[in-house]
């Protein structure tokens, strides 16, 4: 991964951010709030994961480029553009020291990935709906899965149908659609495999588990927001 060192630009990023710029902060129950002095793109959110070395944070910087705050190396930039009004997501790579994988929607709506081991940001076969963000998770087996609210083609309209791609390349279509402009979430399922959660077209949350299919939770949600899901685990990185 590309890590910028003590250039003039790096120094500026660590100084006071220009007025009107969003700044990246972190918070831990042990140390409290911490200002990382790194600019963020408007209408975007950071994503964090625990690696063997600490917490890695993926985000789009104030220029709309994919960046990461690495627990060992600090600030690192991939130089790849992230689609406006979307956010990257990050997960750990099992068995790789300080290893993580990031996914994001590019301006051409293709979903890309980036790893801690390389500066490459290859495209996947997944295509994301406008204004939505992919989610990513690592299963106990080491498999990494990405879920998106999709579209028919790069030039076609959004169908918001949910699709999950495994690190093996297998794509599963859920035959369920998310609410326009909202994003799904994904996590390891208690019985193995993965579970996806999203806002359906009725302002409530649905889930999908392989072998079970779509389940309505009955939980209401603001039409403009997206749910988040996580596995409760004591697994060490």
pLDDT value, residue 152: 66
Residues 46 and 130 placed together within one structural domain of the fold: no
b/e 19-31 (16+ beta carbons within 10 angstroms → b) = eeebebeeeeeee
CB 136 within 8 A of CB 128: no
* pLDDT value, residue 190: 87
Check residue 2 and give its pLDDT.
45
Regarding whether 84 and 19 lie in a shared domain, the answer is: yes
Chain mean position to CA 188: 15
pLDDT at residue 28, as a whole number: 87
**113 and 149 in a common domain:** no
Instruction: Please state the separation of Cα 210 from the chain's center in Å.
Output: 22
Cα–Cα distance measured from residue 68 to residue 49, given in angstroms and rounded to the nearest whole number? 11
**If the chain, 237 residues long, is cut into consecutive pieces of 10 residues, what is the mean pLDDT of each piece?**
37 39 85 92 96 95 96 92 98 95 97 95 95 96 96 68 95 93 95 94 95 95 94 64
101 and 131: one domain? no
113 and 8 co-located in one domain: yes
- Residue 233's domain comprises 126-237
* Domain count across the chain: 2
pLDDT of residue 232: 78
Q: Are 100 and 135 within one domain?
A: no
Give the model's pLDDT for residue 88: 98
Helix (H) or strand (E) holding 216: strand 213-220
Whether residue 145 sits in one domain with residue 237: yes
**Same structural domain, 51 and 100:** yes
| pLDDT score of 231 | 86
18 lies in the same domain as 110: yes
Both 227 and 175 in one domain: the answer is: yes
């Amino acid at each position: 991964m590309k890590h910028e060192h003590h250039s003039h630009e790096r120094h500026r990023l660590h100084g006071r951010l220009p007025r009107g710029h969003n700044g990246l902060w972190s918070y831990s129950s042990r140390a409290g709030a911490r200002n990382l002095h790194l600019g963020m793109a408007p209408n975007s959110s950071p994503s964090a994961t625990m690696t063997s070395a600490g917490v890695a944070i993926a985000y789009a910087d104030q220029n709309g480029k994919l960046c990461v705050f690495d627990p060992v190396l600090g600030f690192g930039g991939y130089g790849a553009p992230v689609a406006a009004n979307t956010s990257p997501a990050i997960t750990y790579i099992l068995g790789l020291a300080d290893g993580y994988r990031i996914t994001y929607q590019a301006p051409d709506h293709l979903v890309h990935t980036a790893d801690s081991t390389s500066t490459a940001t290859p495209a996947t076969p997944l295509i994301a709906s406008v204004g939505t963000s992919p989610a990513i998770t690592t299963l106990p087996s080491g498999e990494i899965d990405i879920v998106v609210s999709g579209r028919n083609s790069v030039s076609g309209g959004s169908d918001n149908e949910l699709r999950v791609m495994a690190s093996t390349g297998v794509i599963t279509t859920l035959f369920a659609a998310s609410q326009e402009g909202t994003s799904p979430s994904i996590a390891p399922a208690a019985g193995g495999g993965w579970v996806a959660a999203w806002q359906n077209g009725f302002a409530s949350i649905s889930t999908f588990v392989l072998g079970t299919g779509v389940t309505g939770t009955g939980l209401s949600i603001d039409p403009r927001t997206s749910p988040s899901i996580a596995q409760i685990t004591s697994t060490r990185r």
